[in-house]
Amino acid sequence: MIPLRCSAAAPSLRLSMRAALTSRPRGPCLAGGVGAWRRRAVGPAVFRAWESTAVTEEKESGHFSVKANQSLLFFDNLFPIKLSAILRLPSETDRDLAGLLRRFDSSSLGILDPIRLVKRAIPDELPLRVLEIVPRLKDGGAFVKIEYEAGVDPAEIEGSLLRKLEQRPLKPWFSPFRGIKARLVRGTPWLEDLYRFPSPVVRAEFVAAGAGEAAELSEETLYGLFRRFGKIADIVPQAWDSKETPRHARIAFPRIRDAIMARNCLHGFVVPEAMGGGRGGTVLRLAYVKRVKAHSIWNWLTSHPRIVVPVAAALLAGFSVIVFDPIRKFFVRAHVQHSLRFTESRLYQWFKSRAGGLSLGRKTERLEGLGAVWNHRRDLIGKLQGWLDGSSDTFIVVTGPRGSGKREMVLDQALAGRGNVLVVDCRPIADASGEAGTIKRLGGAVGYRPIFSWANSVSSMIDLAVQSTTGVKAGFSENLEAQVGKILHTTAAALKEVALAGRSSRDKDAALSEDAFLDAHPERRPVVVIDNFLHRNEDKALVYDRLADWAASLVQNKVAHVVFLTSESAYAKPLSRAMPDRVFRALSLDDLSHDVAKNGGAAPTWPAWTPASRRWAAG
């Protein structure tokens, strides 16, 4: 509470706001009436419109000193309740907030000053004068001590105030829908400045007024006492078997403003014996019940693991798809288009063209010798190129023993100068140890990154721990089949984007759908080369089955051409399961003839050309 004075030279500290809030001015310092008070307020003296009168005694004791022919009124909704958060600061917050309101009063909205609202709320015809005003910023209101003539009933003053405020509501600037209210204080308010802030629930303790015992008031009695201040949501009496003393009850209001009014007007009220207060009477000691956050959401989550854990796994998977899938698709597309490869850059090509004459003679001799090999297989190369340029709805399989030159014929001859080629070498994938190594090498083969191969091991341990405690499998971990399918699905989406990359709205067939466009332009489709297919098939049968199914989806959806390179004769079995209604286009590479192998082999000079030597010369 802050003293409210007219000026420093006032002979009486309790005459500051008397005449300013009555129909006729009184007191030495306000002899000129309200206009004189206003002139003094804006004069050289410090403006103290929001400081209460000199109530040092009340501030120290925490209670008002009310004499005969005096009463207290509580005006509600004068301050925003949100200002109570500032009161948590360790300072003289009442004075600080009063300074803020003084600055507000000096603005163009000064007519909405809460002091003036109090003055306008008191009818001029009431025979009373204001002695003190004590702002209660924490409660959003103010106590007003009034003095009236003998024979005047304070209840009539309260009724007149209620009628005027109902007929002409006074609404502050921060509450355009709820006006201020005024009630007669029937108890003994406690002017505390503790960190106890308003809440919609009030705790009413029953304390004996004299030497007798306090009576526990019934719900009907409490309802009759508190209902006048606003609608009551619930009244919860103390449990009958509770040993807590003093006995108490809780009154819950839907609106916090009603709880504030009830607490300030009924604290210290003595319930007489006629109202059920016992022989000596019962004093109501009211306090706000601190609102405890129930953490209901967290409690529900921790008590329903069978529902929460699968939902959390689904959300985690969805987050991974939203965040990482576009990144991984970008890297797969860059891997297929070789856009991030240095050997495909213009700078490297320029250096290569300038340093073309610096190649070693033995390498040149070997390349010239291999020309005879490729001339011998020119028909196979031409057939393969024709299949890749035409509309193909089946697999292309190139078979031959190891070292027969399958990879070189396909990549260096048939696909020479062709872009958008993806090579998946199954040998390092099959040689990898463990699921994490397999996933890592498969992702590296298609350019799928970032890849967290270690995360599945951690997820497996978490899944096992959750299952052992809750009995429900969390689903955080994924098996090898699911991870391989995810990688191949992302790769297929990236390959389709590569096939449609050069499409423009100005093309003649721009109106075609994506599938129709890919069917009409088979030369635009990328080429997927799966090398060393069925290498160590007995250990990685699952991976090969997923690769065959993935290749079948690419071909059937006309996303890409697929070429298998294998030296195993059992390739037809997994490929037939993936595409049972199609006939494969197969090319078989045999050993070279003696003359071609002798002319094409540039390095060895063995006495006799064996099949192994021919394959070495060709590969």
Give residue for tokens 């109501």.
284
Q: What is the pLDDT of residue 454?
A: 67
Per-10-residue mean pLDDT for the chain, 619 residues long? 35 34 35 33 36 52 82 89 61 47 44 69 81 85 88 87 88 84 91 87 90 86 93 92 90 93 93 86 91 72 78 78 85 85 68 62 50 74 86 86 84 84 91 86 89 70 66 66 89 90 79 84 89 86 91 90 90 88 85 60 39 41
Please compute, for residue 153, the number of CA atoms within 13 A of its CA located in the half-sphere on the CB side.
4
Domain boundaries, the chain: 1-192, 198-292, 306-358+390-588
Q: Which two tokens stand for residue 445?
A: 């083969």
User: Does the domain spanning 198-292 belong to CATH 3.30.70.330?
Assistant: yes
Q: What is the pLDDT of residue 369?
A: 53
Q: What is the pLDDT of residue 471?
A: 64
User: Do 276 and 218 meet the contact criterion of CB atoms below 8 Å apart?
Assistant: yes
Q: Tell me the Cα Rg of the chain.
A: 46
In the prediction, which pLDDT does 609 show?
Answer: 37
In angstroms, the CA 495 to CA 551 distance is 12
CB 203 within 8 A of CB 289: yes
Q: Which pLDDT belongs to residue 34?
A: 32
> Where do runs of H (alpha helix) occur along 338-479?
346-354, 361-376, 378-389, 406-407, 426-431, 434-446, 455-470
Return the exposure string of 321-346: e unless at least 16 CB atoms fall within 10 Å of the residue's CB, then b.
eeeeeeebbebbbbbbbeeeeeeeee
Separation CA 122–CA 32 (nearest Å): 21
